[in-house]
Amino acid sequence: MQHILGKEWTIASAGGSTGEAYYAQNQNKRLFLKRNSSPFLAVLSAQGIVPKLVWTKRLENGDVITAQEWLEGKALNPEEIQHPKVANLLSKIHHSTELLDMLTRMGKKPIDPSNMYKTLMQKLKMVTEDVMPLIVHQALNYLSHNMDELHQAKQMVCHCDLNHNNWMVSHSGQLYLIDWDNAEIGDPALDLGMLLHWYIPESDWDEWLDNYGIDNNVHLFIRMHWYMIMEKLKSYASNRVKKNEKEAAQQLQELERLLNRAISYKK
């Protein structure tokens, strides 16, 4: 990175699992650098969803370096996810035709719930041997029974990792959603269910969804819970593979609570 920017820049690792992100500073100029970011970044920047893209450079070896504004700010804490600004930005993302067009041009195909279900079944058969826990059977029945609900959903760009640490607010109050490495095309209920489940008290779901721009109806509720239950079963299977039996048992308890809420829906 040093030879790209010059000796007058101070460069430090920004951490992360890949080690491909850096902070760079030259007096009052500051940049966030990343190697081989997705081409998606330019569209996200143009729409104000991530900090501004300053420049892009292709190296002789084919690698692409992107430089974004390095802004002073902080990650949202879990309680701040309840703010209407979060609902507004997520709605803007989901309904952006520009983002959807770009992901489609990049070769992304919509998530296929049927394939998700088949893959899950194969994994569960590997880890549960002869006897599958009753709650797992019941959860699979819920997924199978409600599969048709998913095919009615309009396909949108989904972030798929709405951890509160990926929501950043600058000192000027601008909200951003970062870390788009897991983005997919799919049912927005995938994002909505995860965010509501982790961060929003159930008594506040209607208000949060109203800020997002939709009503909490039975079709949305079923679709959200379909993806929540799917993710919980995937986590259970992964913990069984890793022999993390304590965590697997915890997943079953959480699965039971999820399933009870899903089947007791009243509106």
The catalytic residue among 101, 161, 179, 215 is: 161
Residues in the chain, total: 267
Phi first, then psi, for residue 15 (nearest 5°) are 75, -150
CA distance 211 to 213: 5
Say which residues have a Cβ less than 8 Å from residue 131's Cβ, sequence separation at least 6: none
Give yes or no: 161 in active site: yes
CA distances from 196 to 122, 129, 164, 202, 234 (A): 29, 34, 12, 8, 19
Helix-strand-coil split of the chain, %, nearest 5: 50, 15, 30
Task: Provide the annotated active-site residues.
Answer: 161
